[in-house]
Chain A
Amino acid sequence: MKTKSMSKYFISLCMAFFSMTAIAQEEAVSLKDSIAYKKNYGLRLGIDLSKLLIGATDDYFSGYELVADYRIQKDLYIAGEIGFIEKTSEEDNYNFTTKGTYITVGFNKNTFQNWLEMDNEIFYGARYGFSSFSQKLNTYTVFQEGTKIGEVSTPYFEPKTVHPNQTYTDLSAHWISFVLGLKVETFKNLFLGASVNFSKLIKTAEPNNFKNLYIPGFNKVYATNSSVSFNYTLSYRIPLYKK
């Protein structure tokens, strides 16, 4: 459900960005200049606003993510994220708390042709991700199929609920992600960004008699060992040189 409402924000954010670029383009047309505009190179640092927002409104989630990228060519950036997440996941018959840190490293390739001195991006990229975390199994109810008496199928005995409060530590996960996103320079060197990550697990250290169903940085693990995650960033570029 969270993904659904998040995609809503994603779309509205896209709208906002596209309208911004449209305004900027109108201004640019009147300039008519033959100067070759130089691009700002530097280290861009930012935070994921969505995690802060979710953390503020959802009692079962707290987390932050720092993002960074470094321009190495006109349209190529080395990019990465680092973060911490503590999240309690509530399933039908059990609930557990995941807590851990993660780091991702990769690149972003811009495909957007900027006008004049504009420096917006529509990019794709890839990441390698690693997370180290713990899972705490808080409570579970043993699943037992209903017994059919007459026409109704109900549990014959009261299902057993256990509160193991067991923590599985030293868990880890490695994954790769495909990233799609955009960044818009709203003020000089200040960027708003949004991206979506499609990730696939490569390797995990699983807990004994449980499973990594949520991994910090990777998000909810689906049956195919894949996931989708979003982020919305506010970042600032520390300008180092122009080229």
Chain B
Amino acid sequence: MKKYRLVFLLLSFLIGACENDDFCTEETTPRLVIGFYELENPEEFKKAPLIVWAAEMDSIYQGVNLDSIVLPLHTGSQNITYKFSHTKEVDQINFTYESEDLFVSESCGFKAIFKNLRIESSTNNWIKSIDINNAFIDNENQVHVKIFH
């Protein structure tokens, strides 16, 4: 009986030690969540047919019709210009922000979060108004920027 107790102790140690932590499963760098709203009724989502891309890059969204989208922010920069094409009209928004790097876990390493999100400049062809709903971006659970059209 004494022997079995020892084996059991050893096994529990072994099982506890063999933990696979090679994959990053935690939330990492959050993206910017943009919601589209009705100008006349600011509480109501209003879908927009969209093509979205960062200046001089490939499009992230290509002809979708959504009421909210998520866009990555450049962790190595403090500003980024995104272009939003609605039917034939194109508007651009230049965002500025500060980033902070946080350690997540062994498998994920570091993530960035963003603070002091501001709109440096924007055009108003189809976009009527832009509102920063949350200037602190540490998750993707809420809308950070509201676009009224």
Contacts and interface: CB of A to CB of B under 8 A. Distances in A.
B13 A210 contact: no
A211 interface: yes
Chain B interface category by residue count: 35 or more
B1 interface: no
B3 to A, nearest CB: 9
A62 interface: no
Contacts of B28: 143-145
Contacts of B17: 198, 222, 224, 226-228
Contact of A210 (B10, B103, B112): B103
Interface stretch (A7-15, A25-33, A86-94): A86-94
A70 interface: no
Interface centre among A93, A143, A209, A210 (most CB of B within 10 A): A143
Contacts of A156: 54, 57, 60, 72
Interface SS of A by simple majority: loop
B21 interface: yes
Contact of B16 (A92, A221, A224): A224
Contacts of A198: 10, 13-14, 16-17
B104 interface: yes
Contacts of B73: 157
Contacts of A213: 106
Contacts of B58: 149
A149 B60 contact: yes
Contact of B9 (A145, A159, A178, A228): A178
8 contacts: A142-B75, A142-B101, A142-B109, A160-B76, A198-B14, A223-B19, A226-B16, A226-B17
Interface of B: 6, 9-10, 13-14, 16-17, 19, 21, 24, 28-29, 54, 57-60, 72-77, 101-112
